[in-house]
Structures are given as structure tokens and as C-alpha cells.
Structure 1
């Protein structure tokens, strides 16, 4: 029988081989909030995973980018590849048959390295969709961007109405092409989040022309250290986080988003960022083209079976 320590060592080596940009693989959590699943392979080896169930109450901000009820699996498969992952997902299917039938506002979720092509086939066969990608861009030196006649500047309290309009436009669009859900309390939740960003002095930029705000880049700094949640997703360093970028629908196609991000990237570089990261939706026909052109590439894919009954 393969122990968890051996599985973790093998999984670290496999992740490094699949994508050297990944952080060191960490052991799945094991506490009173998690359940352990195991599966036996034909050669006698065993693989394991932690299963976490979360329910987000009505009014929770988490519901804007997640189903209300989520089962998340964190596999530890060592070097068994698709065979081990498939065995764990089969065990998960059997486990889900023992719970009360999930509602339509539910999901089964696995975050897995994007470049693991062998795993991709397994996820698709089990009813998962790649609804969200965590993508990264390493800091590169670049010439100072030209911003005239477009003016890019840090956001102020006086920009709140325009910022909220842009944020809600992005939320509505993302709800059509990804994991986002436009809830009935989206407006106050987004307004409160923007107010907190400005109060905390987070890097938030707007782009305007002739006094009209056309685009928003809502960003933050993320210090990443080993052992933290962020450390399980990114290599150590001080990362810039791009939370939301939105261009007014009527202003799209004029390079405004690109020029806004030129300024954002230059400012993060000037601040000593190790790199920048963000989440985008692969089914989104705009962001799936825009972000790779800005130098971002997938690191992790969040695979979802939504609703949870879609798991097979």
C-alpha cells in the first residue's frame, strides 16, 4: 500500500514535470471539515483525496462566483496519472449517491494543473467543464505605455458610480459564459467591495476619455508564502492580482483594455511584483482571446460539474 507521504512526493515530481511554474504540491487538508475518499487501482496501489462540502448562505458574496452548494475534491494521486484520477472520481460518484439530491444551484469542483492533458480527458468523461482558469503572467520589463488621449489613473471615491456600472457589466457578461451568478444582491455586494478596495488603498485604475470613464481595472496585491492557501496555487513572491477588468460594451474593440493593462502591468512591475495572476472563463469568447494576448497563460483549471448531479 502506498502511503500518503509517498503519494505526495510522487505528485510533487509529476506536477513539476507537467508544469515547472506550479508551486510545490501540498497535502490535501485533513480536519473536521473534510472527508477522506480512497480508491484501489488494478495494480494494488491506492490513491486518496479530501472532500470538502461548503454551503454559502443567501446574501453571501461568495455566491457571485460560485454555486450555493459546492463539493470540492482535492486528489492525491502521486504518479498514477489518469488511472488514479479516474478511480477517485468513480469513488466520488458513489459517494454523491449517498447524499440528498443536490439542488440546481450546486456544483462538484476540482482544481487541477491546466497542462495535465491526461487528466483533461478524465474530467470530460466524468461530466466536468473547464469553467474557470487561473492564469499567470510573469513580470517583464516593457516600455512606458502611451496613454494619450486615453487617460489612465488611480480610481477615486468620486468614480464610484462609474466603477459600479463597469463592474456590474462584467458580472452580467461573465454570468453568461462561466461560473459567475448574477444574484439579486449583486449591486450592494459589489458596491461594498469597491468601497473597501478604495479605503484599503488597493491598486484600482480607471481609463477615461474626454471626462467619460470607459474602463476599470480592479486589482490588489497578494503576498504568497509557502503553507498559505495562495502558496498552494502560486510560487512564493509578491503577486499582483487582477480581480476585474471591464470595458463599456460600446467602447470595446478600440484597444482600451490593452492600453489600460499596459499601465497596470507597468505599475505592478515598478512595485516589484513577481508576476500577476487572474481568473478568466475559457468559454468566454472575449477573455479567452484577450488575456493570452496580454501574456497570460493557464496554470490551474477549475473543473466543475454543475449542477452536482451532472457528475457521472
Structure 2
């Protein structure tokens, strides 16, 4: 690590911490990682990740993602970001190949703290769009429990609910696929069925899947992860116990009936009962349903993922 790198890392960390106190202390890849990209007042770490076709992961992202983790400082951090992106573009032009048929299944991704808006124009000019948000809701244990919603009953999902869960999860997947990160797959129903069946059979103390009935009809579902299942996401927020709200969906005929709000309140009660300090969830920023709903229920942006898909245009 160059001596100048430490100054960049420290200044970047201070600026980001002042913008958002809920962010965790920022780290950088260890000595085994590829050499970083460097410009004056800027440092970036490039990486590549891949998921297999036919996997659950392939439903929620492109098969191949090229990521850039940036640290920018100095009097003009936006210019530092532009210089790092320019170097990365040269790397991508050589690294990205479409001989495996990936094309739309590749993406260039830059994940930034949502409140650190420095360089937003730079990303837009290079063809990136803010597609996915990791939102946070801090614990609020002063409430007396979720309010009752007339006609709505929430219960743990059972094996007999499998067809209902698959139908609603498939509806949610198809809807979110409009916004550019969640990806339509020919085997989506099969993967979602396998996953729901496995979760129903786990026998956790707190069930991960819940059904909302409206006057006896199952018209909504909720999926949650509690520690330790949610530990994979805990490093993105400064909190000791972190929960993850995986999915929430309400059937079209039940919208504006209070089912969604009842499911969200039920989730928060579950997290509070397990002493969770912060709840995280992903949502599509462009979704006209998700964005207003989650922020009306106490969430706010923590990390924003900027996507360009395909990775090289």
C-alpha cells in the first residue's frame, strides 16, 4: 500500500462517515487482491463475480458482474472518480467477452453509499443508472405492536401453501425484472419452487415464510431472515444484530387494502422480538411501488448500486 493510499482511504472514510453515521467502518481488500487502480486523490479495487446458470442467484442478478469499489478524496473527488472509471473502462474492454453468450448477462457495477452523492453526474455520463438500493430501518421497540387491519390475518406458511407461495413469488420476480437487475429465467418457477419447499421444511423457531389472508383468501406473503441466517448482509451497516427482509408481495386484487402494511408491521414485530438492531432490504429504485412503500414504512437508502448492463456498451 502506497503512503498516499492511506491518506485517500482516511479522507474518504471521514467524508462518508459524516454523510451517514449508520455506515460501517470502510475497509479495503487485503494483500491477496489485485493491485488497485490509482489516480491523484483516488483509489479503486476491481473485482469480478459470477453465478451459475440455473442457480437461485441467477434470478436476482446478471450471471457475470464486474464491480468497482472506489475511494475518492481531495478538493475534487468527482474528478478522481472519473479518472478511476476511465482506467476501469480500459480494463473492461479487454476483460469482457461475450463468447459464452452473456451479453445482457454481464454488468458493470459501482456500489456507493447512498448519501455520498459525489460523482453522480460522472456515473450518469458513463452510462450507469442507480438501479438497486440497500435500504435500512433502525429498530424502534417503543411501539405496542402492529395495528389490526380489518379482514387481514397473518400466519406462518405451511406445506399446503407451496402453490400459493410459488405463484406470488413468481409474480414478484416478473414484476421486478422490468427494472434491470432481477433477470427473467426460463427455469425461474422451478428454482422458486425448490427454494420455497426447502424453507418450509427447515423448521426454524421463527418461520421464514408468512402468508397474509384477506377475508380468508391468501393474497400476500412475507419472507424474512434473522441472525444467523442474515449474517451475510450484516457487514453493510453499523449494527450488532442485523435482519434481512427478503421479500414482500401483495396480489394485485388486494392492493390498497392494508395487506402490505400489515405484512411490514408483522415483519418489524418479528425483528424486534429477536432483538434485531437494524433491518436491511433490497429494492428496485425505479419501482413505483417499492420505493414509496418502503420509505413510508421507516426505511431509507443506505447503499445504491449503479448498474450498466451490458458491462461494455
TM-score (norm 2): 0.89
SS at match of 1:98: helix
Give the CA deviation at 1:309: 1.4
Aligned to 1:161: 163
Question: Given the alignment of the two structures, is residue 289 of structure 1 paired with residue 292 of structure 2, yes or no?
Answer: yes
2:238 alignment counterpart: 235
The offset of 1:264, in angstroms, is 1.4
Runs of at least 5 residues in structure 1 that lack an aligned partner in the other structure:
none
CA deviations 1:36-71 (Å, max 9, x no partner) are 342323xxx5x3222112232221221111112211
2:81 pairs with 1:82: no
Indicate the residue corresponding to 1:134 in structure 2.
134
| C-alpha displacement of 1:112 | 0.7
Q: Does structure 2 conserve the Cα–Cα contact (< 8 Å) formed by 1:136 and 1:297?
A: yes
Instruction: Give the SS at the match of 1:143.
Output: coil
Cα distance change, pair 214–137 in 1 and its aligned pair in 2 (3 A): same
| Residues in 2 aligned to 1:161 and 1:229: alpha-carbon distance in whole angstroms | 28
SS in 2 for 1:164: helix
Q: Distance in 1 between matches of 2:62 and 2:35?
A: 22
Partners in 2 of 1:199 and 1:50 — Cα distance? 40
**Cα RMSD for the two superposed structures:** 2.1
For 1:246, the equivalent position in structure 2 comes to: 249
Q: Do the aligned partners of 2:93 and 2:312 also contact (CA within 8 Å) in 1?
A: no
Greater mean deviation of Cα atoms: 229-238 or 263-272: 229-238
CA distance in 2, matches of 1:180, 1:3: 39
Match of 1:40 in 2: 39
Tell me how far apart the structure 2 counterparts of residues 175 and 302 of structure 1 sit (CA, whole Å): 16
Compared CA separation, residues 104 and 224, structure 1 to 2 (3 A):
closer
User: Residue 110 and residue 229 in structure 1: after superposition, are their counterparts in 2 closer, same or farther (change >3 A)?
Assistant: farther
TM-score w.r.t. the length of structure 1 is 0.89
Q: Which residue of 1 aligns with 2:7?
A: 6
Give the ranges of 4+ consecutive aligned residues of structure 1 lying more than 4 Å apart after TM superposition.
Answer: none
Q: 1: CA distance between counterparts of 2:8 and 2:229?
A: 25
1-side partners of 2:227 and 2:126: how far apart?
34
Report the alpha carbon displacement of residue 86 of structure 1 after superposing the two structures with TM: 1.4
